[in-house]
Structure 1
Amino acid sequence: MGRPISPLPQSTTTLYRAGRSRWWHRRAPGRWRGPGPPRRRGIWGTALLVLLVLVVLVAAGGAGLYLWAGQQLRHVSALGDYAGRPAAGRGTNWLLVGSDSRGELTPRQRRDLHVGNNQVQNTDTIMVLHSGGRAPTLVSLPRDSYVPVPGYGSRKINEAYADGGPQLLTRTVEQATGLRIDRYAEVSFLGLVQVVDALDGVRLCLDEPLKDEKSGADFAAGCRRMNGTQALAYVRARYADPLGDLGRVKRQRQLIGAVADEMLGADVLLDPVRTKRVLDVALSAVAVDERAGIGQLAKMGWSMREIAKGGGTATTVPVRLPGVMVSGAGSVLLWDENGASRLFRALRNDDPIPTSADK
């Protein structure tokens, strides 16, 4: 015997069309839905719908945050054409600059960092970040590098900023390296302190103890979380370091990588309130060239994070050791012409850098 036929619900009219195994359901007069039997939105369907709404909201918030950040970004005149400017190479070259102006530091910060109220603006940090078709490369140019400064003769490279601001520093780096600088970014002493503090500190590791009375650094070996003042003292130390300025540039790269890693980490990006707070401080601390935007700045940050994670290369321009004394300039570092030429030629062509580069 066949199974009994269940009566249809009163709210549903069912029709069967000959030759087709398709059921059509009408829940209200004049409104048909199908094909298939009546469906219910299960827990997964509801979850997907909620997820879709959240994605839309996050995207909208992200777009709003992006537009807001673009309006907050500060620009400086840093790039300019001139006769004999190097031609553009492959990839993108950022000039990253840390200004050692102390004028905006509080009296307590100046005391902790053992610095005076020096209004002269030199550059404590000068780096070239190259990104192209392979892993990014970060090259430190020691502040004591002795190079020609257009219009001023040979001087320490960090004096170019004091002599002519970002444009003269950019031109000096271009002429010394043969690389065209495509993008520019700078941050001050105070800006660095504020960014690190906004991140609730950064984790830095020391292979050996470091104590430098002139910078205020006094750290035991091992890993620790440093606040902004401590991190700045750590990267400024050089007099107690047997490598001097060369040791300092390595710590500068370490700090920049740690900051990029924190800013682009899940703890910041997945917390909208914290993201806004960190971005607000970071954008007030950094200044970029006239044509750089948030998109370019974000890409630069990802490249720095990749280097910090070991996915790129960090090195220093090859120099002759030891340093030499030059009348009127003091102790300076001379570049190894052959090594520097090979390094910058590789960057210009977006080739692997020489394996002898000192990390």
Structure 2
Amino acid sequence: MNTDEYRNDWSARAPRPATRAAAPRPETPARAPRRSRRRVIVAVLLVVLLFPLVFGGWLWFHADAAIHRIDAFPDYPGRPAAGAGTNWLIVGSDSREGLDPETAEQLHVGDADGQRTDTILIAHLPDNSTAPTLVSIPRDSQVPIPGHGRDLINAAFAIGGPHLLARTVEQATGLRIDHYAEIGFGGFAQMVDAVGGVEMCLDQQMHDDKTGQTLPAGCQELDGAQALTFVRMRYSSATPRSDLDRVANQRRFIGALASEASSFGTLVNPFATYQLADAGASALTMLESDGLGDLLSLAWAMRGISSGEVVTTTVPVTDSSAHQWHKQRASELFDALSTDAPVPEDVILR
């Protein structure tokens, strides 16, 4: 074996030095999970920010479409000219339309046919810094009804609906009515239930001799049926002035309801907001020219009733029967409203 062959044979059999294993590279931190977390966070933020806008926009159009509309009030010879501020005619109708017998029984409203007005209010929203004013017109006020002689003012609604009632109110007060809002029994009760009830504090027990319903003394949450009993009650020892006490209770409750509806807890709760808007809109009647913006302005102003920021009064009358208006004091009241002047303290009837 020559030298070259020996070297090759030795090289093939000689053990080779161990190869050093390459050190493992440190793992690169996973970026995908971090990106996923960022995307989730961004998506959540977008939902949180956009949901109120999308929900609010949808609810606005939904509510606006659900409102019942009537034609604008027609002009007529001698109609009062527009004065300062804005005047709303607010009507609580006792129509049972749309109420099934079971619901009517739960609300204790009976089964009378047709429609009348349990509530007639003028809400005046001034253009200046004068406080808004909410004026009750007793339903038994005897006034001239155009084309129908002298009668109780709620007969105007029964005879000719919103148009005749508005004309009757305009001619009796000298105020031009700019906006109109009407709600029935069922819608009122549903709105109260939608906000989870409204707290009222009663100085004494209220028992309605006509319906047999009783509201205990003390502070309590009134549900829709109980609230309807409260604002309609006038045959009770707790309402010795009959309709005058009833309209005062109506104004008081409207303020409490407006405050509850505009509270933070209601506005941030989409379910409560939807139920309130849906119940109110479906039971509400407005003029074709009126929009939700007008209605919200009214509701926002009326929330000041509970805090005393709204002047509340009844048209001055000569006695507790509320049949006859006190001409001089009533004239002073309506003159103040037509000019956005403060209502004189001596004409305020609570």
CA deviation profile, 1:192-232 (whole Å, cap 9, x unmatched): 11111222211112122211121343122211101111111
Question: Which of 319, 327, 347 is equivalent to 2:337?
Answer: 347
Q: What's the CA shift for 1:274?
A: 2.2
Q: Is this contact kept in 1: 2:141–2:325, CA < 8 A? A: yes
1:310 corresponds to which of 308, 312, 316: 308
Displacement of 1:110: 3.5
Q: Is the 8 A contact 2:72 2:289 kept in 1?
A: no
For the residues of structure 1 that align with 2:307 and 2:57, how far apart are their CA atoms?
A: 28
CA distance in 1, matches of 2:185, 2:248: 18
- The aligned runs of 1:274-353 (5 Å cut-off) are 274-323=272-321, 333-353=323-343
Select 2:233's aligned residue among 226, 237, 242: 237
Return the alpha-carbon distance in structure 1 between the equivalents of residues 84 and 45 of structure 2: 41
Please, what TM-score do these two structures have when normalized by structure 2?
0.82
Distance (Å, rounded) in 2 between the aligned partners of 1:102 and 1:69: 22
Change (3 A) 1:87 1:110: same
CA contact under 8 A between 2:131 and 2:342: conserved in structure 1? no
**Which residue of structure 1 aligns with residue 166 of structure 2?**
170
Which of 242, 246, 249 pairs up with 1:248?
246
Match of 2:270 among 269, 272, 279: 272
CA distance in 1 between partners of 2:47 and 2:193 (Å) = 34
Mapping of 1:1-359 within 5 angstroms? 54-77=48-71, 79-132=73-126, 133=128, 134-240=130-236, 241-323=239-321, 333-356=323-346, 357-359=348-350
For residue 120 of structure 1, report the CA deviation from its aligned partner: 1.9
**Per residue, is there more helix in 1 or in 2?**
2
The amino acid of 2:258's aligned partner reads A
The answer on whether the counterparts of 1:109 and 1:229 sit within 8 Å (CA) in structure 2 is no
Native 8 Å contact 1:200 1:227 kept in 2: yes
| Distance in structure 2 (CA, Å) of the matches to 1:105 and 1:49 | 45
Count of aligned residue pairs for this structure pair: 305
Q: CA deviation at 1:273?
A: 2.6
Listed one character per residue, the Cα deviations across residues 300-341 of structure 1 (whole Å, up to 9, x for unaligned) are 110111223321111101000143xxxxxxxx6100000000
Mapped partners of 1:216, 1:127: distance in 2: 27
Give me the identity figure in percent.
48
> Aligned-pair distance for 1:139?
0.2
Q: Which of structures 1 and 2 has the bigger CA Rg?
A: 2
**SS at 1:295 equivalent:** helix
8 Å CA contact 1:103, 1:118 repeated in 2? no
Match of 1:59, as an amino acid?
L
- The letter for the 2-side match of 1:335 is W
Q: In the alignment, which residue of structure 2 is the partner of 1:31? A: none
The normalised TM-score by structure 1 is: 0.80
CA RMSD of aligned residues (A): 2.1
Equivalent residue letter for 1:238: R
Q: Which amino acid aligns with 1:336?
A: H
Deviations 1:156-186 (A, max 9, x none): 0011001101000000000000000000000
- Secondary structure (helix, strand or coil) at the match of 1:353 reads coil
Q: 1:227 to 1:120 in 2, by over 3 A?
A: same
